[in-house]
């Protein structure tokens, strides 16, 4: 009986970890790269947004009037996240007291250079990043008693927190075929870092064990424990950048830009699904027992096939007047192909568990509109809006990573200090999104998660 409980517990931990794909952005992509794009609702497929163009459609790098450009800036991401127990009414808000969680500061670095009809560039951008910090004393850290979920039980003193960060390093090139047509592409190195601290109750673990998609020899490790209450997984580092589990991989993009009319551009780009090495790190599985307390088991956690989905972008831009620009982008993110199954494993000296978990994510559609207006010779102002469909079901999400935000509004501006020196800034607000998870696979009791987000971008652009 105890061996069966242990098996269910380990399986439950691994299954819950594998659900942490959902982010507080459009998914695994920030809502626009660079301050110019961010200020215009994330549009970037058919108009020039500075060196950050290489992150969406490398063909638009050809639109630059400069021989070369340098971009230096950063993203500043703040979130308002909370979780509430639908049974007891208890509520916990994410805090920012740890280096492990936000606010998040991420780099924006890029360089481009023109050689005749060729433009080459390289950069480093945060592709995505978010997390939560619920601490050690909320209802999420309470052990389960007799299948009652969060409603009863003792405080375990175990952390509930998460952080996911993806860094994209593109090497891009564009070629001007003629005055109306340009093509481009990039090869992108990617680094992903993940922290996770999560407690699962026994009723949750019992439901997870019925899935039947787990195998391994880690059975009977707690054969002497008389009163199992749950299992806690910790794979985390309290550092600004380094993470509990991480790995490198690669992806790429192809793009084209066609001048439909003297003032109208059509852009198309395709980002390939990434190919990541397994994310690996040392972690601890802690068996929670009602009589003898917490029993930690050290080992290695692996996240297999932790890939970003492919994405197709189509955009139009129209120069209404010399001062006024309008842009429209439509994107399709192919989550369904990227998240059919996720394989996760925990290994230790005593054995291991492997899991193949179906996710059943849906493809996502994103529509973005943006406008810019040259108010003076030195000042340009921008505004935008984007809306996305939800690729995940309520039942597939954890309280630790609550939702994919769907509606963003943005403002931005640029100020030219000289012909070669410019300051860019943008602000993006993600409207509150709430989801309620009642699935016994991913929560011990029904939990409602709410999230809103404010992102800021500042950058200095130098051209020569």
Q: How far is Cα 18 from Cα 335, in angstroms, rounded to an integer? A: 15
Reduce the DSSP state of residue 412 to 3 states and report it.
strand
Q: Considering the entire predicted model, what is its pTM? A: 0.85
pLDDT score recorded for residue 9: 46
What's the pLDDT at 22? 38
Q: State the residue range of the domain holding 321.
A: 2-463
Averaged confidence pLDDT in the chain = 82
Confidence of residue 181 (pLDDT cuts 50, 70, 90): very high
How are beta strands 447-463 and 68-85 bridged, if at all? Answer: antiparallel
DSSP helix, strand, coil percent of the chain (3-state; round to 5): 10, 55, 35
Q: What is the spatial distance between Cα 199 and Cα 202, in angstroms, rounded to a whole number?
A: 10
Tens digit of each residue's pLDDT (9 = 90 or more) over 339-375? 777 677 888 887 777 666 666 778 999 999 999 999 9
Give the HSE-up count for residue 271: Cα atoms under 13 Å, Cβ half-sphere: 33
Q: pLDDT of 21-44, one tens digit each?
A: 334 456 678 888 999 999 999 999
**Partner residues linked to 90 by β-bridges:** none
The CB-side HSE value for 196 (13 A sphere, CA atoms) comes to 33
Q: What is the pLDDT of residue 215?
A: 64
Q: What is the pLDDT of residue 96?
A: 56
The pLDDT value given to residue 144: 62
CATH code of the domain in which 387 resides: 2.40.160.60
Among the listed residues 289, 370, 356, the one whose alpha carbon sits nearest the alpha carbon of residue 325 = 370
Is a pLDDT exceeding 60 seen at residue 200? yes
Domain count of the fold of the chain: 1
Cα–Cα distances (Å) from 222 to 143, 285, 352, in that order, read 17, 12, 14
Distance between CA atoms of 321 and 183, rounded to whole angstroms? 26
Look at residue 2 and tell me whether its pLDDT is greater than 80.
Answer: no
Q: Worst-scoring range by mean pLDDT, 18-27, 272-281, 385-394?
A: 18-27
What's the rounded mean pLDDT across residues 319-339? 92
- 450 or 282: whose pLDDT is higher? 282
Task: Kindly state the average pLDDT of the residues 185-190.
Answer: 97
169 or 208: which leads in pLDDT? 169
Cross-strand partners of 255:
184, 269
Is residue 434 very low, low, confident or very high in pLDDT (cuts 50, 70, 90)? Answer: confident
Spatial separation of the C-alpha atoms in residues 384 and 406, rounded to whole Å: 14
Quote the pLDDT of residue 222.
59
Q: How many helices (H) and strands (E) does the chain have?
A: 4, 22
Determine the pLDDT at residue 7: 46
Look at residue 457 and give its three-state secondary structure. Answer: strand
Residue (of 128, 108, 136, 87) closest to 35 by Cα position: 108
Quote the pLDDT of residue 403.
60
């Amino acid at each position: 009986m105890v061996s069966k409980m242990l098996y269910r517990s380990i399986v439950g931990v691994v299954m819950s970890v594998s659900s942490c794909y959902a982010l507080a952005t459009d998914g695994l992509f920030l809502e626009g790269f660079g301050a110019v794009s961010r200020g215009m609702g994330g549009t970037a497929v058919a108009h020039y947004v500075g060196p950050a163009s290489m992150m969406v459609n490398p063909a638009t790098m050809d639109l630059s009037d400069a021989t070369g450009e340098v971009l230096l800036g950063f993203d500043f991401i703040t979130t308002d996240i909370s979780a509430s127990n639908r049974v007891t009414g208890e509520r916990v808000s994410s805090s920012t007291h740890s280096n492990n969680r936000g606010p998040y500061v991420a780099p924006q670095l890029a360089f481009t250079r023109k050689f005749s009809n060729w433009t080459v560039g390289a950069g480093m951008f945060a592709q995505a990043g978010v997390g939560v910090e619920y601490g050690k004393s909320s209802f999420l850290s309470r052990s389960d008693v007799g299948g009652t979920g969060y409603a009863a039980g003792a405080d375990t003193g175990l952390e509930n927190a998460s952080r996911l960060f993806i860094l994209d390093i593109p090497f891009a090139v564009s070629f001007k075929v003629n005055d109306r047509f340009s093509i481009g592409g990039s090869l992108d190195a990617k680094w992903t870092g993940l922290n996770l601290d999560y407690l699962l109750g026994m009723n949750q673990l019992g439901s997870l064990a019925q899935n039947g998609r787990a195998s391994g020899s880690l059975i009977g490790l707690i054969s002497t424990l008389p009163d199992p209450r749950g299992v806690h997984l910790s794979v985390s580092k309290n550092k600004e950048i380094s993470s509990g589990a991480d790995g490198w991989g690669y992806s790429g993009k192809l793009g084209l830009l066609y001048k439909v009319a003297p003032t109208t551009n059509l852009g198309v780009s395709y980002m390939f699904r990434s190919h990541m090495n397994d994310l690996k790190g040392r972690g601890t599985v802690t068996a929670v027992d009602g009589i003898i307390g917490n029993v930690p088991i050290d080992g290695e956690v692996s996240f297999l096939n932790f890939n970003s989905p492919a994405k197709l972008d189509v955009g139009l831009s129209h120069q209404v007047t010399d001062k006024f620009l309008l842009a429209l982008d439509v994107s399709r993110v192919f989550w369904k192909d990227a998240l059919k199954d996720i394989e996760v494993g925990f290994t230790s000296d005593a054995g291991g568990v492997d899991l193949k978990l179906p996710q059943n994510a849906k493809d996502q559609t994103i529509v973005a509109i943006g406008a810019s207006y040259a108010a003076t010779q030195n000042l340009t102002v921008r505004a935008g809006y984007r809306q996305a469909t939800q690729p995940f079901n309520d039942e597939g999400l954890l309280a630790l990573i609550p939702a994919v935000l769907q509606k963003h509004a943005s403002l931005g501006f640029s100020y030219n200090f000289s012909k070669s020196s410019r300051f860019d800034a943008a602000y993006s607000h993600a409207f509150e999104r709430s989801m309620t998870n009642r699935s016994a696979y991913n929560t011990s009791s029904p939990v409602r998660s709410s999230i809103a987000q404010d992102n800021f971008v500042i950058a200095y652009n130098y051209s020569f």
